């Protein structure tokens, strides 16, 4: 397994380079219509890069993050409430959030179905989900997949169409936008 607890400094200063402008545009589009009353949860937040980008789009939301690596969360921005937890067992009450983010984190989850069941549980009715990850059907996506496997990570990478089907199985209405070897998912319950 990758020693994420010891990589916070590296991810804080270099991790955000993987977030290209089209990805960020998709995130800002996803956040349109949210007011200052909504709460968003960043699952597998690491140092909070996804939340930092979202904050640039809408600074009026309540931002909450979970990650199992305390060494990553200690680099999170001060406006981000942080909790040490796994995606498969979230420490929140039912219907706690209006939206959930997963930025480059889904492929690290051990039990994808349990994680999505938890997302459904903590989302309010009509809640929304935004995912950014790598497409393993592309050369670069497959390269990242193989590197993650080499490091002993779960490497649960999906082709966008397969992830769409998985999310629909959990009750989401799903839109996928491909960006070369990366993609975003915007989904709602």
Q: What is the pLDDT of residue 174?
A: 98
Question: How many domains, in total, are found in the chain?
Answer: 1
User: What's the full length of the chain, in residues?
Assistant: 189
State the pLDDT at residue 176: 96
DSSP-derived letter for residue 68 is: S
CA distance 120 to 140: 31
> Average model confidence (pLDDT) for the chain?
87
**pLDDT 10s digits, 134-158:** 898 999 888 888 887 787 777 788 9
| pTM score, whole prediction | 0.88
Answer yes or no: is pLDDT of 33 > 60. yes
Which of 141 and 13 is assigned the larger pLDDT?
Answer: 141
Residue 6's pLDDT band (boundaries 50, 70, 90)?
Answer: very low
pLDDT digits over 58-98, tens only? 999 999 999 998 987 998 999 999 999 999 999 999 999 99
β-strands 182-188, 123-134 pairing? antiparallel
In the chain, pLDDT over 70 holds for what percent of residues? 89
Nearest Cα residue to 172 out of 134, 125, 111: 125
Q: Which domain holds residue 78?
A: 4-188
Residue whose tokens read 């490497």: 155
Taking CA 133 as the corner, what is the angle to CA 55 and CA 142, rounded to the nearest 5 degrees?
155
| CATH number of the domain bearing residue 182 | 3.40.50.150
């Amino acid at each position: 397994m990758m020693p994420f607890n010891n990589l916070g400094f590296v991810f804080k200063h270099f991790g955000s380079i993987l977030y290209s402008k089209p990805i960020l545009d998709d995130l800002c589009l996803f956040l349109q219509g949210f007011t200052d009353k909504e709460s968003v949860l960043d699952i597998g937040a690491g140092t909070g890069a996804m939340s930092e980008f979202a904050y640039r789009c809408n600074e009026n939301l309540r931002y909450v993050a979970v990650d199992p690596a305390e060494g990553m969360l200690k680099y999170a921005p001060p406006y981000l409430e942080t909790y040490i937890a796994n995606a498969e067992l979230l420490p929140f009450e039912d219907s706690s959030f209006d939206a959930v983010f997963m930025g480059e984190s889904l492929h690290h989850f051990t039990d994808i179905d349990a994680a999505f069941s938890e997302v459904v549980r903590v989302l309010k009715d009509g809640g929304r989900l935004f995912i950014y990850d790598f497409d393993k059907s592309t050369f670069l996506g497959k390269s990242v997949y193989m590197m993650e496997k080499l490091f002993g990570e779960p490497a649960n990478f999906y082709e966008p169409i397969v992830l769409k089907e998985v999310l629909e199985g959990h009750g989401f209405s799903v839109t996928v936008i491909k960006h070369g070897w990366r993609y975003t998912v915007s989904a709602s319950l």
